Chains A and B, each alone.
Chain A
C-alpha cells in the first residue's frame, strides 16, 4: 500500500517568506508526527496529532511554527517569516496509536527546506 507522502520534496525560499509543507499519512493511521532533521540539532520532535487535535506540540521551536490536521488525514506545517536557521529536512510520520506509546512510526521521504 501507499506510504507516507510529503510535498514538496524540496523548497527554496527567501528569508522572511512563509512556507507550507504538506504530509499525507498512511490511510487509517490516526496519529501523525512532524520531526525536523538538521546538521546541528539531529532529529527533533516538533508536534504530534491524534486525529485532528494536537496533544503534544512541545517541540515547536517558536510561535512562527504552526501545524494543523484536517479530516484526520492530511497535515500542513506552516512556518511564518522564515529564518536561515529554519533550513532543515522536515519529516512526517504516521502510526496506529497505542495508549501508552510504542507505536511503530512510518516516515515519509521528507521536505528539504532551504532558506536563503
Chain B
C-alpha cells in the first residue's frame, strides 16, 4: 500500500544545531513530495516540494530536502536551528495520478536555547 512515514514524533535540538526530520514513502513509482510546517493554531504552510526536476530542493526559511529514490526518502534539513523554527512539520505525498495529499504523522520540533 502507498504510505508515508515520519520517523520520530518529537525532535529536540539546540539553537544553532543541525535539524534533521525524516520522511520515507512507500510506492513503486516516485511520487510528488512535500514538506509543510504548522505553527500553533495556524494552518499549514508549504516549505518545499519535489517534483522530479532536481533531487536537492531548497525551500523557505533555510530548509532543504533531498530526494533519494534508492532509500525512498525525502528528509528535511536545516544547517542551523533558530528558535522560530519550533513548530510541527508534516511530510506529504501526492501519488501519481492522484490529487490528494497523504500526510505523515507529523514531527514536533522543539528548539532549546
Contact = CB atoms under 8 A, between A and B. Distances in A.
Contact of A45 (B101, B104, B105, B106): B101
Contacts of A106: 46
Interface stretch (B14-22, B70-78, B88-96): B88-96
A12 interface: no
Contacts of A109: 42-43
B106 A42 contact: yes
Contacts of A44: 103
Say whether chain A's binding surface is mostly helix, strand, loop, or mixed. Answer: strand
B1 interface: no
A61 to B, nearest CB: 15
B52 to A, nearest CB: 9
Contact of B49 (A42, A93, A102): A102
Q: A interface, how many residues as a size bin?
A: 20 to 34
A91 B44 contact: yes
Contacts of B46: 104-106
Given A42-B103, A91-B44, A110-B43, A101 B49 contact: no
Interface string B16-59: 00000000000000011010100000111110010100000000
Interface of A: 4, 31, 33, 35, 42-45, 48, 50, 56, 59, 91, 93, 95, 97, 100-110
Interface of B: 31-32, 34, 36, 42-46, 49, 51, 90, 92, 94-106
